[in-house]
């Protein structure tokens, strides 16, 4: 239980810090910020685990035993999974195409929009610029003049996704 409590408390603090950082200024690479900040909070997780274990008898853990080490690693696993969940949530808010469309419609003067109007306020060039920029930054593609070419990393990523599409029959219905 010690790992679980330490993981949740340190992750809550991580989320609050991330929010404060986002409010302080805009960041060009949000995913880098998410990950670096999370790594910076790992020592805090270990510290809260040790404090809980030493100060409160109900959370006492002996790290010299296998069960104690498993407890510590279990908390770390929870931290990783919480980060994945939070990343999904964050990028849904930040990058979700459908969400942006609903926000644009909600902000229309009479709360109604035609397709052409949505296309005007939310341009394709903006969408492409963001996605392609990210793919270039992450090294999935590189630019050869005006042409986009995939890198070995991008080819591998595309192949894995193609396999998942085939396996789960995505896009067939």
Partner 1 sequence: MLSGICAAFLCLTFFILAVVVRFQFPPVGHRLSVMICIWALLLPVYAALYFGVRAALPPWLGCPLPWHDLEGLAAFLNGVLLYALLFSAWCYCYFCTDHSLSVLYMMALEDTSTRRMTLDDLKKAFPYEELLQQRLLDLQNNGFVAVRDDTFSLTRKGRRNARIAGGLKQFLRLEPGG
Secondary element (H or E) of residue 144: strand 141-144
Give the residue carrying structure tokens 């005006």: 146
3-state SS assignment for residue 64: coil
- Does residue number 40 form part of the binding site for partner 1 (CB under 8 A)? no
Q: Kindly tell me which residue out of 97, 137, 139, 152 binds partner 1, with binding defined by CB under 8 A.
A: 97
Q: Kindly tell me which residue out of 43, 62, 63, 96 binds partner 1, with binding defined by CB under 8 A.
A: 96
- Does residue number 64 form part of the binding site for partner 1 (CB under 8 A)? no
Is the Cβ of residue 42 or residue 164 nearer to partner 1 in the bound state? 164
Q: How far is the CB of 46 from partner 1 (least distance, A)?
A: 17
Q: How far is the CB of 47 from partner 1 (least distance, A)?
A: 21
- Does residue number 115 form part of the binding site for partner 1 (CB under 8 A)? yes
Q: What is the C-alpha end-to-end distance of the chain, expressed in Å?
A: 44
Site for partner 1 in 1-30 (CB under 8 A): 1, 4, 19, 22-23, 25-26, 30
Q: 165 — alpha (psi -120 to 50), left (phi > 0) or beta? A: alpha
- Does residue number 60 form part of the binding site for partner 1 (CB under 8 A)? no
- Does residue number 159 form part of the binding site for partner 1 (CB under 8 A)? yes
Q: Kindly tell me which residue out of 9, 17, 31, 87 binds partner 1, with binding defined by CB under 8 A.
A: 87
Give the closest residue to 118 by CA, choosing from 127, 61, 46, 162: 127
Is the Cβ of residue 55 or residue 145 nearer to partner 1 in the bound state? 145
Cβ(25)–Cβ(33) under 8 Å?
Answer: no
What are the backbone dihedrals phi and psi of residue 15, each rounded to the nearest 5 degrees, phi first? -65, -45
């Amino acid at each position: 239980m010690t790992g679980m409590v330490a993981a949740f408390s340190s992750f809550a603090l991580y989320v609050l810090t991330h929010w404060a950082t986002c409010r302080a200024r805009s960041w060009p690479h949000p995913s880098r910020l998410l990950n670096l900040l999370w790594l910076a909070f790992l020592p805090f997780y270990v510290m809260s685990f040790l404090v809980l274990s030493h100060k409160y008898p109900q959370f006492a853990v002996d790290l010299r035993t296998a069960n104690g080490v498993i407890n510590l690693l279990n908390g770390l696993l929870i931290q990783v999974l919480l980060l994945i969940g939070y990343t999904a949530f964050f990028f849904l808010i930040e990058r979700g195409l459908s969400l942006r469309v609903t926000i644009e419609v909600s902000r229309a003067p009479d709360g109604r929009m035609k397709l052409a109007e949505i296309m005007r306020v939310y341009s394709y060039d903006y969408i492409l610029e963001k996605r392609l920029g990210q793919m270039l930054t992450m090294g999935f593609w590189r630019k050869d003049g005006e042409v986009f070419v995939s890198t070995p990393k991008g080819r591998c990523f595309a192949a894995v996704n193609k396999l998942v599409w085939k396996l789960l029959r995505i896009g067939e219905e």
